[in-house]
Amino acid sequence: MGTRILNMEGIGAVTFTRRKGSRRISLRVKPDGSVLVNHPWFAASNDVLGFVAEHAGWILEQKEKMAGRKIRYQLDEMVQIKNTTIKISRSGVNKLEAGVSPGLVVVAVPVNLPVESDEVQHFIRGVVTLVCRKEAKKYLPERTRQLAQRNDFFFRKVFIKNLKSKWGSCSSQQNINLNLSLMLMPDHLIDYIILHELAHLREPNHGPGFWALLNQLTENKAKALDREIRKNYRIL
């Protein structure tokens, strides 16, 4: 397997991976907007590049969709993450900076930078991610332990990750992976995601048995809670 990254005009960076087991060229745009191309080891470079060029319109459409799914922050917005508040405010400073005090992080945006610019949004998202990670490490492992004990589940470890497309997952090794973006949710929805992953310890797939178990764990509110998350919350 070999990987290379090329900057294609009108598309941007594209990661090409040659795989021995591949029989055809496949194309994917990830939630972060990155473009991945897998192709057989025998495929000619011109054919692979031509395939990507032919699908340039589709790629750009997908990248726009992914960008639209990202959380966008506004001036004077207050982001509450458990015990920490992040405040976004205009400042007379000449560079982006974050001031930290107990329970409060103030993101100072210079007057010469529009808050909607990619630079500012990327900086704020980085601050939010750091705070989410800190709060998640304090809260999620212990809360998972409490819910597992209450409902007679056994798991090995909890891992906090910056997942791009999932709120959580349960591995075949009985480990629970939880997205640090959960810290942007209220407690009842955090509990739902944890219970969802714990349920996979007994029911690996999303079949009728899984939903019956999850309904039992959530007082028959599984589908309603799932809809609430899909409607109101997005991953960082």
Q: Is 11 left (phi over 0), alpha (psi -120 to 50) or beta?
A: alpha
- Structural domain range at position 53: 2-69
pLDDT tens digits, 126-141? 999 999 999 999 999 9
The larger pLDDT score, comparing residue 183 to residue 30, is at 183
Q: How far is residue 39's CA from residue 25's CA, in Å, rounded to a whole number?
A: 4
Q: How many CB atoms lie within 10 A of CB 188?
A: 11
Number of domains in the chain: 2
User: Do both 156 and 60 map to the same domain?
Assistant: no
The confidence score (pLDDT) of residue 65 equals 74
Q: What does the pLDDT read at residue 12?
A: 84
**108 & 217 share domain:** yes
- If you average pLDDT over residues 223-233, what whole number do you get? 93
The pLDDT of residue 69: 62
Q: What is the mean pLDDT of residues 8-25?
A: 88
- End of a domain among 39, 69, 99? 69
Which residues on adjacent β-strands are paired with residue 104? 85, 101
Residues 137 and 155 in one domain: yes
Global confidence as pTM: 0.73
Range from 8-12, 24-28, 150-154, 183-187 carrying the lowest mean pLDDT: 8-12
Examine the domain organization and report whether 95 and 184 are in the same domain: yes
Asked whether the beta carbons of 75 and 89 are under 8 A apart, the reply is yes
Q: Are residues 95 and 33 in the same domain?
A: no
113 in the same domain as 53: no
Residue, of 163 and 200, whose pLDDT is higher: 200
Neighbours of 49 (CB within 10 A): 15
Tell me the pLDDT tens digit for each residue of 61-89.
887 776 666 778 999 999 999 999 999 99
- CATH number at 194 reads 3.30.2010.10
Q: Is 117 helix (H, G, I), strand (E, B) or coil?
A: coil
pLDDT of residue 236: 82
Looking at the structure, do residues 131 and 224 belong to the same domain, yes or no? yes
Residues 52 and 144 in one domain: no
108 & 145 share domain:
yes
Which tens digits make up the pLDDT trace of 24-43?
999 998 877 789 999 998 99
Predicted confidence (pLDDT) at residue 165 exceeds the cutoff of 90: no
51 plus 118 within the same structural domain: no
Question: How open is the CA angle 159-220-236, to the nearest 5 degrees?
Answer: 35
Token duo for residue 32: 């972060």
75: number of CA atoms within 13 Å, CB side? 12
Residues 186 and 88 reside in one and the same domain: yes
Q: Verify that 32 and 111 share a domain, yes or no.
A: no
Give the model's pLDDT for residue 197. Answer: 98
Mean pLDDT of 196-215: 96
Band (pLDDT 50/70/90 cuts) for residue 164 is confident
- Determine the average pLDDT of the residues in 88-100: 92
End residue of a domain, out of 69, 93, 121 = 69
Out of 49, 69, 89, pick the residue that ends a domain.
69
